[in-house]
Structure 1
Amino acid sequence: MQDVELWSLDELCDHAFDIFEELAVDNLSAADYQRYQLHYETRGYADVLPPGEGWEELATQDLDPELHFEVQIGLTGEEGNADMVLARILLSREKDESLCHALWRGQ
């Protein structure tokens, strides 16, 4: 059996940020994108989580909880407001697997 090369969770997070940065301008509303651009340095975050609901249908495959993760990217809440999730990105830790899906705020 061939060894599978895996992303670390930190690398997976960085990979998700790269995808987010490349696609955000085309997938977020102008107001959300501008808000992110203004506040990402002080309030931006990324959380790596087990895949949430709805991914198996979108990915059209069974998801392995040890290989597939959801990265939520957004802005922390301000003045007691809830965090704003701008994108949920589904990725595999397998470097050779091209699985990548994104759900964007407002879509």
Structure 2
Amino acid sequence: MAGPRLYSEEEVTHQAYDIFLELAPDNLSEQDINDFNEHREELGFIEESEPDDQWQDFVALEIEPELFVQVLVGLEFDNQDILFAKILISRDKDAPFCHILWKDSE
């Protein structure tokens, strides 16, 4: 039996970023959006990694590291990073899933 059909980490990171851009106006303050838009070219980061343990507090499914990617979207300043969204997204083409923890919602 073949395994699940998976998006590459790069593909799924792009999807997560597109979802972030689409939903940000409904979930971030106007100030956050202005800061992000003003600084994203030079200070913005999109970082993917294996999902951390925090997700188990928010989603009721088993998170298999090979099937999910955690994507962080934020700005990197000299004195501190501002994290706007922490995204859990599925790589499985047949089981789409995305959950976002927004800044100030944690």
TM-score after normalising by structure 1: 0.90
**Cα separation, 1, equivalents of 2:39 and 2:93:** 31
1:10 maps to amino acid: E
Q: Secondary structure at 1:59's aligned position in 2?
A: coil
Write out per-residue CA displacement over residues 54-92 of structure 1, whole angstroms, 9 at most, x where no aligned residue. 312322011101111210001111xx2111110001011
More deviation, 34-43/46-55: 46-55
RMSD: 1.2
Write out per-residue CA displacement over residues 24-43 of structure 1, whole angstroms, 9 at most, x where no aligned residue. 01101111111001111111
1:57 maps to amino acid: D
User: Where does 1:52-63 land on structure 2 (aligned, <5 Å)?
Assistant: 52-63=52-63
Identity %: 38
TM-score after normalising by structure 2: 0.91
Give 2:66's aligned residue: 66
Give 1:43's aligned residue: 43
Deviation at 1:2, TM superposition (A): 3.9
Q: Secondary structure at 2:69's aligned position in 1?
A: strand
More deviation, 49-58/35-44: 49-58
Matched, 1:97 2:95: yes
Q: What is the number of residues matched between the two proteins?
A: 105
4+ residue runs over 3 A deviation: none
Q: Secondary structure at 1:94's aligned position in 2?
A: coil
Deviation at 1:3, TM superposition (A): 4.5
**Cα separation, 1, equivalents of 2:4 and 2:68:** 14
**Cα separation, 1, equivalents of 2:94 and 2:85:** 23
Where does structure 1 lack aligned partners over 5 or more consecutive residues?
A: none
